[in-house]
Structure 1
Amino acid sequence: MSSLKVEFFHDVVCGWCFVLAPRLKQLQAELDLDIQHRSFILQTSREAMIERFGSMPQAKDTILGHWQACARAEDEKRINIEGMRQQPFEYPNGLLAARACQTANALGGNAAHEQMFDRLQLAHLVQSRNIGDKATVLAIAAEAGFDPQAFEHAFEHDAPALLEQDLRLGRHLGISSVPSLVIADRYLIPGALGLEQLRQSLNNIRQELAAKPEGAVQ
């Protein structure tokens, strides 16, 4: 039996992506999952944040309210709401972090994308660091073991096109929220499912694929 392809569409600044990622990773070996990381940003600029939330202070207040639900759902209880609330910087959009994930992908493939995504989420949701600041993002990449010069070069020259590929793919597949999983190019699972529900959903899909090997995204 071949591995089950799972495309994980995520945004580094998304608390629900932080909730889902460890559950997906926990099931990877058990269910023989081929997890492919994809960037999908909901707001790509300060202007988009203001359009969505009304103002930058309101954006931070609203999103940290969402973090409360994420913190209740997160299995490891790491989300640091008060740490982020006390920071003087505006709540970041996900553009620079997504470019960093794509940079890692350019340098080291999907595994490096996953590593960078995890490190940036930890920095954002637990350590209260400003991942909307390029210098901070580059520092996190260096801490993760990437060569600083190679990373910065790829960040500027390779990452934008790779990011646009993921965004186009997400739009083509009908992604409208994160986290979202696309299974075997056919099945869409939105949201941060609990571990048992996720396990059951993936097992059900594997059984359906065995019975109906052809089909479109649903």
Structure 2
Amino acid sequence: MSAVKIEFFHDVICSFCFPMSYRMRQLKAVMPEVEVIHRSFALVKEPSDFDRMFGSRENAKNEILSHWFYANQNDDLHRFNIDGMKQAVFPFPSSMNTLIAAKAAYFISGDDLYWDLFDALQESLFMHNKNVEDIEVIEATVQTIGIDLTSWRQHFADEKTREAVLADLKLAEDYQITSIPTLIVDGKHTISGAQPLTAIQSVLNEISLQKKLSAVETEASCKFRDGKFECD
């Protein structure tokens, strides 16, 4: 398959992004030529957004846990600890601290380290029921995957890291993305939702075939240029 670039839009607090990230890793294993670029999407940019969406931050938890139930069914490994989250006493986390945290890892060592921290933060929330909005929880998670904490703190505090997250959010608007997980393939093809691995592969194979056919047409084609037909 020809090289394909996938922009993976997601949020740490997005339940369906958890099984989708696992599948994207499977995809990379079977299609190593695929380039995965991680993009931020904030479901809850500010804590006050809980009031607008759910009436209150307290009300949010019950509805969000219903999403966890269906996400756990979607998850190939069924990893969600829903009962544990019901017993947790902290308010449901908002998005920005974790998105900036993952982007800080990107500035240390690119998309691979971003992905490692993103997955570790999702595991902290969905499996271990940690408050991933809390900086101490984030820093503990950072250390579990071997990131130098001093370097990470510098990038986390750097305004350019937040600006990079905001640039991702603007890009999502430009792509007219309204839900996640979403994959943007080669800047123009959209795959929405936590799709099965086979479905993602099928779409990518079709896109690759279209690119090959387009290349053949370009190499053997006739164009009307400057009043004359020119054939390659």
Q: State the TM-score, normalizing by the size of structure 1.
A: 0.93
Alignment match, 2:17 = 17
Pairing 1:138–2:105 present: no
Q: Distance in 2 between matches of 1:49 and 1:153?
A: 29
1:195 aligned residue (177, 197, 208): 197
Report Cα offsets for 1:157-215 as digits up to 9, x if no partner.
132111112111111111111100000111011101112212211211211222346xx
Residue 49 of structure 1: CA displacement? 1.4
Q: How does 1:40-55 map onto structure 2 within 5 Å?
A: 40-55=41-56
Q: Does 1:152 align with 2:153?
A: yes
Specify the alignment match of 1:85 in structure 2. Answer: 86
Q: Which amino acid aligns with 2:177?
A: I
Letter in 1 for 2:134: D
CA contact (8 A) 2:2 2:208 kept: no
Output the amino acid matched with 1:5: K
Equivalent position of 1:7 in the other structure: 7
Unpaired segments ≥5 residues, structure 1: 214-218
**Counterpart residue type for residue 153 of structure 2:** E
Residue 91 (structure 2) pairs with residue 110 (structure 1) = no
Tell me the secondary structure at the aligned position of residue 104 of structure 1. helix
Query: Of the candidates 165, 168, 173, which is equivalent to residue 166 of structure 1?
Result: 168
For residues 166 and 20 of structure 2, the distance between their equivalents in structure 1, rounded to whole angstroms, comes to 24
Aligned pairs, how many?
213
- Larger deviation: 203-212 or 108-117? 203-212
SS of 1:9 mapped into structure 2: strand
Give the structure 2 partner of residue 216 of structure 1: none
The answer to whether the Cα contact below 8 Å between 2:4 and 2:34 also exists between their aligned partners in 1 is yes
TM-score, normalization by structure 2? 0.88
Where do 5+ consecutive residues of structure 2 fail to align? Answer: 216-232
**Alpha-carbon contact 2:98-2:132 (below 8 Å) kept:** yes
Q: Distance in 2 between matches of 1:82 and 1:29?
A: 32
Q: Is the 8 A contact 2:6 2:186 kept in 1?
A: yes
- Please give the alpha-carbon distance, in whole angstroms, between the structure 1 residues aligned to 2:138 and 2:75: 24
The answer to whether the 8 Å contact 2:7/2:39 transfers is: yes
SS at match of 1:15: coil
Superposition map of 1:178-189 within 5 A: 178-189=180-191
Q: Computing the radius of gyration over CA atoms, which structure comes out larger, 1 or 2?
A: 2
What is the Cα deviation at residue 66 of structure 1? 0.5
